[in-house]
Amino acid sequence: MRRITSLRTGLSALLLLGTWATASSLPASAADSPAHSSSEAPASASLLTAMRHDLGLTDAQARSRLAAEKTATAVERRAKRAAGASYGGSWFDPATGRLTVAVTRGANTEAVRATGATVKVVRHSARRLDAAKARIDALSAPAGVGSWYVDPKANKVVVDVVAAHRDDNDVRAFLARARQAGPVTVEETAGAPRTFAAGTVGGDPYYTGNVRCSIGFSVYGGFITAGHCDQHAGAVYGWDHSYIGNFQGSSFPDNDYAWVNVGSGWWTVPVVLGWGTVSDQLVRGSAEAPVGASICRSGSTSHWHCGTVLAKNETVNYSQGAVYQMTKTSVCAEPGDSGGSFISGDQAQGVTSGGWGNCSSGGETWYQPVNEILNRYGLTLHTA
């Protein structure tokens, strides 16, 4: 077992794997965090530091953005109900701090504006765009096609093509079929998506077979993580190579989620590890952040990084097969970060699946939304 040089380090390592159930066992950074009222945005000094570093914001700008994003999350739910069948999607604008809601002609725009949203009239409803994307989902995509998703700003389905393969015959044929599915636009991406599992590296959690991955979020009875991390090798081991539990369910491709039961002295706790970059973050819920909102990721290789939500309900074309209903972010990740936590403020968002690039040169990363995983397996998120 590795030497633990301080109580803080030891607790942090255990907390990543969902240990220490009692409040008295929480690290000081988590236990001493002031409780946030429902009207306050979480804004610890360490979180503000991370947003200043990764998003280029001042402390005041970061505080203002967190508060505006929390408001936008609530507005989005109300505006979608008010728009009804005319709803065309929505996105958060960091420049104005407001949520824009797209609606088709004939919508009750006054009712939507009354929720606090800015309204934009568009040609296609979200229902039509989702139907077009579903038709593309039914196609077989070549390796040169990275992903496709509904872009509410463009009011189209965006197909991302790996730049080096734009002129491949099979890519051209796929794009021709995709354009027949509905309103489609094509964009280029620098790299092909890949998952972020890694070979075993001593001293970092968690291990299964010959793979190291990262914990997502604690649930009652275990934790959730990425499905591609399940090597069907049986036992799952922690940072100290002691037995934690076993995969109780997993899906990959089509989906990229899994859950592991926790036992043998391991416990769960509602904390996301900050890796010394930020204070360990308490998890208080799983309200879904809108497109454009800031978001941060914790993983066992590249640790803590932040960015923004770029797209939702994106289909990602990995070499192992397509994965559906993913969320794309501008946050970087590296091998071993798979399964790790995506969190916005104090709200759990999803588990790291894959992406392209790295944390030196940059890139994009996708996550599987947390609420879908909870609903699929009937799990309850462990919250503070």
Per residue of the chain (384 residues), what is the pLDDT tens digit? 332 223 223 333 333 333 322 222 222 222 222 333 334 445 567 678 888 888 999 989 999 999 999 999 999 999 999 999 999 999 999 999 999 999 999 999 999 999 999 999 999 999 999 999 999 999 999 999 999 999 999 999 999 999 999 999 999 999 999 999 999 999 999 889 998 765 433 435 799 988 999 999 999 999 999 999 998 987 999 887 889 999 999 999 999 999 999 887 888 889 999 888 888 889 999 999 999 999 999 999 999 999 999 999 999 999 999 999 999 999 999 999 999 999 999 999 999 999 999 999 999 999 999 999 999 999 999 999
φ, ψ at 48 (rounded to 5°):
-65, -35
* Amino acid letter for position 279: S
Helix pair 45-55, 59-83: axis angle to 10 deg: 80
CA distance 19 to 239: 11
Asked if residues 173 and 157 have their Cβ atoms less than 8 Å apart, the reply is no
Q: How many residues does the chain have?
A: 384
Per the CB < 8 A criterion, the answer to whether 206 and 15 are in contact is no
Q: Which residues pair with 247 in a beta bridge?
A: 260
Amino acid making up residue 171: V
* Contact (Cβ atoms closer than 8 angstroms) between residue 349 and residue 339: no
Instruction: Report residue 115 as tokens.
Output: 């929720």
Exposed/middle/buried for residue 160 (C-beta within 10 Å: 0-12, 13-18, 19+) = buried
Catalytic positions, please?
228, 256, 338
Cα gap 361→351, rounded to integer Å: 22
Contact (CB, 8 A) for 133 and 147: no
The answer, as to whether pTM is greater than 0.85, is: no
Contact 222, 248 (CB under 8 A): yes
Tokens 């995709």 belong to residue: 178
Q: Which residues pair with 90 in a beta bridge?
A: 101
**CB 280 within 8 Å of CB 273:** yes
**CA proximity to 367, closest of 288, 303, 300, 301:** 288
